[in-house]
């Protein structure tokens, strides 16, 4: 089912959970096939997992693709299993047989993380910008780790995670204390610079945030509302996440 929502009329497709990965993989393969040197932005967390599983199951030639992560935690030791570098190695690099040098993340171990953030922003620009940015949405409306209050035109920078986000990501760590408090994240302006956006949302916990993002005012209170400012957004949501949409 296809429905219009929000001033910029994102294409919203309501899907069964297992179909989110299939539909997302179709779109990603379309972009890769039609772009000479595709640059794909990747999210981590639970939302994109069905996509990455589907890509691994399909196989494919990704040698021309450059990948950029949305964000990375600060404060975890190198090789920590929940660092996004390790998550992407497990979920994307190894299953798809990617050359690790084609998968970029912000450097969380730099002596100057602010400089590392600025350099990451520059690397994305040097690669020609992102052709397709895969996104999840936080239950508080965050996009990447742009928490409520983030400037709508923000660029890649150091951010502090809210308690709500740390609680949501507690499931990946043995204790809440071990969930990092800071990160380097692409900014909302960085994300809006991508030529095409693909938001994946599953589960009832995302319903209110998705509703606010697509039908509420464009406001820093709900960072994902910036999706309404972009002209090419596809939202793939399961029935629970889409429950409050018109």
| CB nearer to ligand F6R: pick between 123 and 139 | 139
Q: 72, 91, 121, 142: which one is catalytic?
A: 142
Q: Which of 100, 110, 27, 24 is nearest to 65 (CA)?
A: 100
Distance CA 141, CA 132 (A): 20
Question: How many amino acids of this chain bind ligand F6R (CB under 6 A)?
Answer: 12
DSSP class of residue 102? G
What's the CA gap between 15 and 240, in Å, rounded? 9
**163 among known catalytic residues:** no
Residues within window 141-180 making contact with ligand F6R, judged by CB under 6 A: 142, 144-145
Residue 70 beta carbon to ligand F6R: minimum distance, rounded to whole angstroms: 4
Q: Are 129 and 90 in contact (CB under 8 A)?
A: no
Q: Which residues in 71-130 contact ligand F6R (CB under 6 A)?
A: 71
Number of H helices, E strands in the chain: 8, 11
Binding window for ligand F6R (CB under 6 A); candidates: 11-19, 22-30, 114-122, 134-142: 134-142
Q: C-alpha 31: how far from its chain's center? A: 17
Residue 16 is a catalytic residue: no
Q: Which residue has the tokens 């179909």?
A: 19
169 is catalytic: no
Told to judge if 147 belongs to the known catalytic residues of this protein, a careful annotator would answer yes
Q: CA–CA separation, 107 vs 184, rounded Å?
A: 8
Q: State the binding string over 31-70 for ligand F6R (x if CB under 6 A, else -).
A: ------------xxxxx----------------------x
Q: Strand 182-185: give its sheet, edge to edge.
A: 71-74, 182-185, 157-160
Judged by CB under 6 A, the chain residues 169 through 228 that form the site for ligand F6R are none
Under the binding rule (CB under 6 A), the answer on residue 138 touching ligand F6R is: yes
Beta bridge partners of 182: 74, 160
Query: Which residue among the candidates 91, 147, 159, 238 is catalytic per the annotation?
Result: 147
Catalytic residues: 71, 140, 142, 147
Provide the binding-site residues for ligand F6R, judged by CB under 6 A: 43-47, 70-71, 136, 138, 142, 144-145
């Amino acid at each position: 089912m296809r429905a219009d929502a929000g001033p910029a009329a994102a294409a919203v497709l309501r899907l069964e959970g297992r179909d989110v990965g299939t539909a997302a993989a179709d779109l990603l393969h379309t972009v890769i096939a039609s772009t000479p040197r595709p640059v794909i932005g990747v999210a981590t967390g639970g939302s994109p997992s069905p996509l990455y599983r589907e890509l691994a199951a399909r196989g494919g030639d990704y040698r021309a693709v450059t990948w950029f992560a949305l964000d990375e935690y600060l404060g975890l030791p190198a090789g920590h299993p929940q660092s996004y570098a390790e998550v992407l190695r497990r979920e994307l690099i190894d299953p798809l047989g990617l050359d690790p040098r084609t998968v970029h993340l912000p450097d969380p171990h730099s002596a100057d993380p602010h400089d590392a953030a600025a350099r990451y922003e520059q690397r994305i620009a040097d690669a020609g910008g992102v052709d397709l940015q895969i996104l999840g949405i936080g239950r508080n409306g965050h996009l990447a780790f742009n928490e409520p209050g983030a400037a709508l035109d923000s660029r890649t920078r150091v951010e502090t995670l809210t308690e709500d986000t740390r609680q949501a990501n507690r499931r990946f760590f043995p204790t809440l204390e071990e969930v990092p408090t800071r990160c380097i994240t692409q900014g909302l302006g960085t994300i809006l610079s991508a030529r095409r956006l693909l938001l994946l949302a599953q589960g009832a916990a995302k319903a209110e945030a998705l509703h606010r993002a697509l039908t509420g005012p464009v406001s820093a209170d709900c960072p994902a509302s910036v999706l309404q400012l972009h002209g090419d957004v596809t939202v793939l949501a399961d029935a629970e996440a889409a429950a409050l949409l018109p």
